[in-house]
Structure 1
Amino acid sequence: MTKSNHVSPPKSANPKMGLTARIFIGMIAGIVIGALLNRLFDDSGDFSFSVLGIQVSTYALLVDGIFNVIGSIFIASLKMLVVPLVFVSLVCGTSSLSDPSKLGRLGGKSILLYIGTTAIAISLAVGFALLVAPGEGLNLETNATYVAKEAPSLGQVIINMMPTNPINAMAQGNMLQIIVFAVLFGIAMTMTGATGKRLTAVFDDLSVVIMKLVTILMNLAPYGVFVLMAKLFSTVDFDTIKSLIKYFALVMFVLGVHAFVSYPIILKLLSGLNPLILLRKMRDAALFAFSTSSSSATLPITMETATKKLGVKSSVASFTVPLGSTINMDGTAIMQGVATVFIAQVYAVDLSLSDYMMVILTATLASVGTAGVPGVGLIMLAMVLQQVNLPVEGIALIIGVDRLLDMTRTAVNVTGDCMVACIVGKSENELDTHTYNDLEAGLKEEEVHLEDINKKSN
């Protein structure tokens, strides 16, 4: 017998690049292109050309035209999935619970954790701001004014949680009302026997299809992230950032401390899980959140991360993650803490220890009391400033850099959403630790193979 001379082909030295790497490359490329456009089309002028006798600005064509259109479509495609994903997944999760009283435990644990992390976030912000003093010695003047919207009372927020028209709530994207209706609908399905079981099978199939749609959009993310970053950095006023560099750097630093120190410690103490795995698996969702600046728009990716990569069962993730996207505002609380100290120092107003304690309490409670209200971050800040008799007009000083900070604090918020989902899931024995510890979990599901469509059609 002779040995076969067949030699297996060598493995490819250039495996397909992962989704995280492609998103990161798209983000960096967008930032570079945007910054170059910002410098190229400054006060020195613009390049224009004629099309059919019409003068077209190169800057307007790129930024207000191509980048704006593609970026807006990308954001709209993400938001398109939020309502059906939350409703379907929450109905599936609720109907799968054998013990309806478990919902009370899930809600209680989730809300307490979200409020607790918000209190820690703003305490860190106020503490570091007093230590660094970002507003001392600054003489910032602005002609801009800011008129604060009136925040609803806590009682009114609770009343508004009950939908009078569920279809209208879905059309408007009112997340708290959608959550309430989905929970009630799921409980009703559980109580209707065979009819409910047949309907549960339909919702389970819908959930699979929606998650596949999320996967398709995730694979388009590198292009969406590129145009969003290019558009943003082509319009950023770097002079404003220079004048507020101390405030800007401090907020970024505290956000980093909360994400990479506070969250890991809380996760380890309350669940025993390895926090480094959480941070590693949050990369895709964090990059999405950074580029979109919207917890709601990132919600489909956050849900996919919690269930497919972190191993949180749908019965828990479908409740804690949408709730977190509405009431978890750790990043916003950090901005408010630093901004309050900053504005007080700019206006030379001395705040007492009791004032700072009131800032922490007000911001923590306001994160729940203003849930689901448009422009909630600035409304909360206005409430905090009014509580300690600081001029609300001071908000106008920091609006110029808030867009960039909003990107980072949204990434922190979605990380907090998944951390709470993991803690609650572990405490309820609804977390698959094997999936959580598997660094490759969920990666295969991210791949989209269009050739499979041809095979199935044949």
Structure 2
Amino acid sequence: MKLALHWQILIALALAVVMGSLSGTEGSIGSVTWLAIYTFIGTLFLNALKMIVVPLVMAAIITGIGTLGSQGGFGRMGLKTLSYYVATSFIAIMIGLVLVNWIEPGVSDQGAPVLEQNSQVAAAVAGKSTGDVVEVFLRMIPTNIVDAAAEGQMLGIIFFSLLFGYFMTKINTPYKESLANLWQGIFDVMMLMTEWVMKFAPLGVFGLVAASVAKTGFDQFGNLALFFLTVTLALGVHFLIVMPLLLKYVGKVQNPWLHYQAMAPALLTAFSTSSSSSTLPITIRSLEERAGVSNRVSSFVLPLGATVNMDGTALYECVAAIFIAQLFGVQLDFATQLLIVFIALTTSIGVAGIPSASLVAISIILVAVGLPAEAIGLLLVVDRFLDMMRTTVNVFSDSVGAIIIAKSEGETSVLVSKHF
């Protein structure tokens, strides 16, 4: 019987902690240090992740926007749904941004950087500094999209992909169909490549975590615990405060807590599987049979939400990027944090449907602002548990959106009486 990927990763984490602590930086096998071996394995995995980022993000955004437009998704219900998704993801990101800057989980007790190479990292971030808010918008439009892709300028790539996907729906057939088929084919290939790369995730995790433990020991694990608490608190605020407020004041639901009861089967499934897509059938059934939402609304809002609406994922990406900057003692100015917010918002849409999407999305943000992608290895120590929680938030946000859209469409049987 083959072990599930998350169990393989947990075993790799345990082995990495043991091996890294035993070998340290001086341990060697022959003339090669164990640290060099760990670094080699981790770097291969990170290079593979970086290799798929640009084509995956471009294909995901272009096909997503193109499909929405070809299905008439820019109609009334489509605009309501997209507006809700963008708004709630932005709120989630801002909650994470405020809490990570307030709690500062990556700052040591002495105020010194937790990890080494802080001067090099600071220089790299300064080299990619956005300067000011105006510069953020200027970088949104690249002078050369090929150069932007080569340099990993994700802001310009995302903007170009959004425009391309939208205007692809405006041309005549058969060219529109040919382009749609081309990009859908690229997206399918990139999904397969991503799944293949993720099969090596346990090896990559082992290399990244073992190298980190060998170099710094267990010094950073206290910061990781605080990072875990920060993300958990932020997800809790969004799940238990923002969502019921939206139900009550936007959806006009008298008792928002009924919706938690209605969605209990879907929430438990999301928590255990860490997959919005796998939970989708149960989410639809819970909404229709237990919350009273029509199939007309649920069949449109929920499949779209399972692909593009990832509040928990977007929140996590933002907190993780700033946490890593704090670990290296790098001060991110307002414009750079604004850039992180924008990329977190768009990448949570672009790559949300793939396994362990947070790895790819976080690497995009780190590269975009000049932070070392190797620090992802630290996050993997607590990622599995946070993945379960953020997936639950993702699914619940989708269901709240369906309730709000159904109420706005005049449906009167939504959460009127308990069907559970």
TM-score, normalising length: structure 2: 0.58
Assess if the C-alpha contact under 8 Å between 1:106 and 1:320 holds in 2: no
Distance 2:401 2:161 in 1: 20
Distance 1:100 1:164 in 2: 33
- Verify: 1:97 aligned to 2:72, yes or no: yes
Give the structure 2 partner of residue 214 of structure 1: 191
Quick one: which amino acid aligns to residue 232 of structure 1? L
Give the structure 1 partner of residue 60 of structure 2: 85
Distance 1:276 1:127 in 2: 35
Distance 1:182 1:309 in 2: 32
Structure 1 window deviating more from structure 2 (231-240 vs 196-205): it is 196-205
Distance 2:335 2:202 in 1: 38
Tell me the CA shift for residue 231 of structure 1.
0.5
Q: Which runs of 5+ in 2 are unaligned?
A: 248-258, 285-300, 347-361, 407-420
Distance 1:378 1:74 in 2: 11
1:90 alignment partner, SS class? helix
| Aligned with residue 131 of structure 2, among 145, 149, 152 | 152
Q: Percent identity?
A: 13
1:197-208 alignment, distance < 5 Å: 199-200=176-177, 203=180, 207=184
1:42-441 alignment, distance < 5 Å: 42=24, 45-48=27-30, 57=32, 59=34, 62-63=37-38, 68-69=43-44, 72-73=47-48, 76-77=51-52, 80-97=55-72, 99=74, 108-125=83-100, 135=109, 145=119, 146-147=122-123, 149=126, 150-166=129-145, 169=148, 174-192=153-171, 195-196=172-173, 199-200=176-177, 203=180, 207=184, 210-211=187-188, 214=191, 217-218=194-195, 221=198, 223-237=199-213, 240=216, 242-259=218-235, 261-265=236-240, 266-267=242-243, 270=246, 272=259, 274=263, 277=266, 280-281=269-270, 329-332=318-321, 365=338, 367-368=340-341, 404-405=378-379, 415=391, 424=401, 427-428=404-405
Distance 2:268 2:224 in 1: 24
Distance 1:329 1:319 in 2: 17
Distance 1:143 1:66 in 2: 20
Distance 2:10 2:216 in 1: 22
Tell me the CA shift for residue 31 of structure 1.
1.9
Quick one: which amino acid aligns to residue 41 of structure 1? S
Distance 1:363 1:74 in 2: 23
Please give the root-mean-square deviation of Cα atoms over the aligned residues, in Å.
Answer: 5.6
The aligned length equals: 350
Label 1:204 to 1:144 Cα distance change in 2 as closer, same or farther (>3 A): closer
Distance 1:236 1:172 in 2: 27
Quick one: which amino acid aligns to residue 224 of structure 1? F
Assess if the C-alpha contact under 8 Å between 1:281 and 1:309 holds in 2: no
Give the structure 2 partner of residue 41 of structure 1: 23
Distance 1:275 1:420 in 2: 13
Distance 2:335 2:168 in 1: 39
1:329 alignment partner, SS class? helix
Tell me the CA shift for residue 27 of structure 1.
0.6
TM-score, normalising length: structure 1: 0.54
Give the structure 2 partner of residue 12 of structure 1: none
Q: Which runs of 5+ in 1 are unaligned?
A: 1-15, 49-55, 287-301, 345-358, 383-394, 430-458
Tell me the CA shift for residue 235 of structure 1.
1.0
Q: Summarize deviations over 1:233-280 as a string: whole Å, max 9, x none.
A: 321236745445543322222223334x23432456546463773574
Assess if the C-alpha contact under 8 Å between 1:122 and 1:334 holds in 2: no
Label 1:237 to 1:98 Cα distance change in 2 as closer, same or farther (>3 A): closer
Tell me the CA shift for residue 23 of structure 1.
0.7
Assess if the C-alpha contact under 8 Å between 2:93 and 2:341 holds in 1: no
2:141 alignment partner, SS class? coil
Label 1:41 to 1:172 Cα distance change in 2 as closer, same or farther (>3 A): same
Q: Summarize deviations over 1:102-161 as a string: whole Å, max 9, x none.
A: 77656654443233223322444466569xx97279999999644451333222222332
Tell me the CA shift for residue 90 of structure 1.
2.4
Assess if the C-alpha contact under 8 Å between 2:20 and 2:212 holds in 1: yes
Higher radius of gyration, 1 or 2: 1
Q: Summarize deviations over 1:386-417 as a string: whole Å, max 9, x none.
A: xxxxxxxxx9xxx9988514875796697577
Distance 1:110 1:241 in 2: 41
